[in-house]
Amino acid sequence: MLLSLALIGSIGLIAGYACDRIKLPKLFGIIMTGMMLGPHFLNLTDPRILAISDELREIALIIILTRAGLNLNISDLIKVGRPALMMCFVPATFEICGMAILAPTILGLSAAEGALLGAITAAVSPAVVVPKMISLQENGWGTNKKIPQMIMTGASADDVYVIVLFASFASIVKGGHADPTALTEIPVSIISGIAAGAVLGFMLARAFKKIQIRDSEKIIIMLSLSFALIAIEQALRGYFSGLLAVIGMSCVFHINKPDAAKRISDKYSKLWVAELMLFWLVGCSIDLTYASEFGISAAMLVFGALLFRMTGVFLCVTGTNLNIKEKFFCMAAYIPKATVQAVLGGLPLSMGLACGNAALTVAVVAILITAPLGAFSIDILYKKCLKCEKP
């Protein structure tokens, strides 16, 4: 296992740095090296690491959701208004519908399996989008019409939306049908999860005001509480949403202590080891035989679903004061996908679903296509489509 960890740490970082030098996202290089050193090619990754891949993905998911909550500024959402609220769920809904329509024709899956694939691929990547929007905001590009704020808010919130939908679609695909009695559990789990998380977030904010501790110690406390909330979800079996509780906790903490939330979010972003391990495991999980056979079909499906997604973004900004260039920029800025796809892509395979290989292949293809395409599009288009409000 130590040799595998050494390879992950050294080769993964070198590959990520090499991609960064040629203006590609680091995750691109990490995934490719994971594929090369995984069990389907050179087989240099210890099976004991692969055996706990589900737990490692769950930890990464908790980190994603906590950061999303800590960066979810409700006041910005209110200021921007209807388009920001719609950006949180409309583009993702359009993409899920697109996958459900296209997957049966392109990959021969059922509509439910297509919707499950859509829930995996529909989340925009805050890791790619948010830093670029912060840079645009700091330099005054599009700030008069609050374009960076709107995109950042939607990018932080739609992750939560698709993760909740993923759990629902996975249950439908696994059972083969939707259980009507299970519908009664949905509102209970949502209300109980949000309420428990809100109470914890408020208590944490009050405690941290009275007790002065280091930010690193606050992170340990928040991570421990997050793990406990997920354990409660597993114990209550459908009557409590640990994921929503994590979001509620971090969001209410942000409302009560915004400065501390910003510092803690910055420190969460430095947990690069989890990200490195996550993308490496994604590469290791790819069956190269299946990927070579269905990779082109998966790419066609991803591009087709992107058209549905961009239509959803255009609908969100219709009726606003944005001109056609600014609307086009919003559509391009909502393309990148990365971390959520890495977390969810391998879950159908580990759950034993028939569409598991297809889901993982589509998730990886979506990352490899949209992360660089979206990043390049933002860098190329912002000067052509947005107005700079600073001299």
pLDDT tens, position by position, for the chain (391 residues)?
777 778 777 887 888 788 878 777 777 788 788 888 877 777 888 787 777 777 777 777 788 778 777 876 677 667 767 888 888 889 999 999 999 999 999 998 999 899 999 999 998 887 678 778 877 877 888 888 888 878 877 776 777 788 778 877 887 887 655 555 555 666 777 788 889 999 999 999 999 988 888 888 888 999 899 999 988 887 886 678 787 788 889 889 988 888 888 888 888 776 656 667 777 777 777 766 766 777 789 899 999 999 999 999 999 999 888 899 999 999 999 998 877 887 788 888 888 888 888 888 898 888 888 888 888 888 889 888 988 876 5
Q: Is 18 exposed, middle or buried (0-12, 13-18, 19+ CB in 10 A)?
A: middle
Q: Is 49 exposed, middle or buried (0-12, 13-18, 19+ CB in 10 A)?
A: middle
Whole-model pTM: value is 0.74
Q: What is the DSSP letter of 183?
A: G
Non-local CB neighbours of 238 within 8 Å, separated by 6+ positions:
182, 185, 189
- Contact call for residues 309 and 95 (beta carbons, < 8 A): yes
* Residue the block writes with tokens 């219709």: 318
Q: Is 60 exposed, middle or buried (0-12, 13-18, 19+ CB in 10 A)?
A: buried
CA dist 87 and 188 (Å) reads 26
Alpha-carbon 30 to chain mean position = 17
Structure tokens at 60: 């990464």
* Residue the block writes with tokens 């086009």: 328
- Contact call for residues 111 and 103 (beta carbons, < 8 A): yes
Nearest to 113 by CA among 333, 349, 380: 349
CA dist 353 and 356 (Å) reads 5
